[in-house]
Amino acid sequence: MKLGVLDIGSDKICCLIAVIEKDNQPKIEGIGYRDSRGIKSGIITDMELAQTSITSAIQAAEKMSGVTLDEFIVNFSSNTIQSDLVNLTVSLDGNEISSQDLKNADKKAGEINLGKDRILIHKILTSYTIDNQKGITNPISIKGDQLIAGYNLITASKNAVDNFVKCLSICRVKISNIVATPYAAGLGCLTNDDFFIGTTVIDIGAGNTSIATFADNKLIYTNVFELGGINISSDIAKGLSTPISEAERLKILYGSNLNPNEEENLINIPLTGEEGHAMSHKVPKKVLNNIITSRIQEIFEIVKSKISKPILNKNFTNNIVLTGKTSQLHGCLDIASNIFGTTVRFGKPLGVKKLAENISGPGFSVSIGLLKFKMLEENLNKIDTNLLLENSLIWKKLGTWVKESFF
């Protein structure tokens, strides 16, 4: 089986083409990535530029793999993404729970009025409770008076999704699945133990930072806000009067890795407006470091404020994983550890054989997560309960809407 995925971000467009081998492991045969144009923080800002970037990335992957695909799993990243936990009650009257009872709860979840400006991306079953007894994993044939099914409903702005899908349809890309970026990031870089014990993934991209909390093998919370690596580069450019390209170079070169013995050392900063950077000025390393660390601290403080109190109270932030290209800045781990008061580690793509070095870093966790999402869906009846499953009916409905609206 051939799979195609499109990871669409503010910094890059990455297209992967993979084959699922007999051991159910993906083997990547085609890689294509291009600078992202016409897309800012997951929102289409210029249709033509975005289409050019997307088409070019797909063509590069197809050329490398030798196959042509027209259907892809794609991610969606926008600060309009919202996560709502709901509980649906089914009366049992002392009877055994049947599959129909579960379908009734699921139907109720699908009928919740989200508002005309919202569209449902994921409907994820998170828990079953029978007569106040929590932790029920399979309620079939259990007697009770009341069944409560918990769901995580992940929605986004319908207009934002409409524009995103329209852009892809003009590129002649058929969408197999839309996956919320924080969900894909977690799938791409977490272990089975992480999913079970309770883990919060912070994906710091170029335009957005996304949050996903997993517990008991379920995605229980997501959030996205518009702040990322681009903002750090912009801060450097404005603060030091240097071109954006130089600011990006300085950010990567120095990050926030400052040796106290070197903080007064001067670094050369090219001035903006000077052709060929003929003129420059010198500033102490600590000035650059302060600019970078201030923004990184702000990002993690916002993350902390966005995470809901129930998640904090249940200590699901005791295990924190950083991923995304910007997370690789030196000092990110220490800053996050200080703010959250716990050990923090990097998350890199997992679960793919012989992953090429150029796509093995944290910046490609979402790309690999999209592959793994499709593998889960394709093997719903084969995978064990330690992996994350989601109700596939949602995509069937969304897929129908896509086809009716754009194809």
Query: How much is the pTM?
Result: 0.89
Would the pLDDT of 388 be above 50?
A: no
Q: What is the distance between the alpha carbons of residues 158 and 120, in angstroms, rounded to a whole number?
A: 9
Q: What is the distance between the alpha carbons of residues 227 and 232, in angstroms, rounded to a whole number?
A: 9
Show the tokens assigned to 176.
């197999």
Backbone angles phi, psi at 272, to 5 degrees: -70, 150
Residue 346, classed as helix, strand or coil, is strand
pLDDT at residue 206, rounded to an integer: 93
- Calculate mean pLDDT across residues 91-111: 88
pLDDT in tens, 362-385: 999 999 999 999 877 765 434 333
Instruction: Name all domains of the chain by residue range, CATH numbers in brackets.
Output: 82-155 (3.30.1490.110), 191-346 (3.30.420.40)
pLDDT at residue 257, rounded to an integer: 61
Sequence-distant (≥ 6) Cβ neighbours of residue 375 within 8 angstroms: 3, 20, 24, 26
Instruction: Name residue 258's amino acid.
Output: L
Q: What is the distance between the alpha carbons of residues 371 and 351, in angstroms, rounded to a whole number?
A: 10
Q: What is the distance between the alpha carbons of residues 181 and 187, in angstroms, rounded to a whole number?
A: 10
Place of tokens 């052709």: 275
The pLDDT-based confidence of 394 (bands split at 50, 70, 90) is very low
pLDDT in tens, 113-138: 888 899 999 999 999 999 999 989 89
Show the tokens assigned to 405.
């609206």
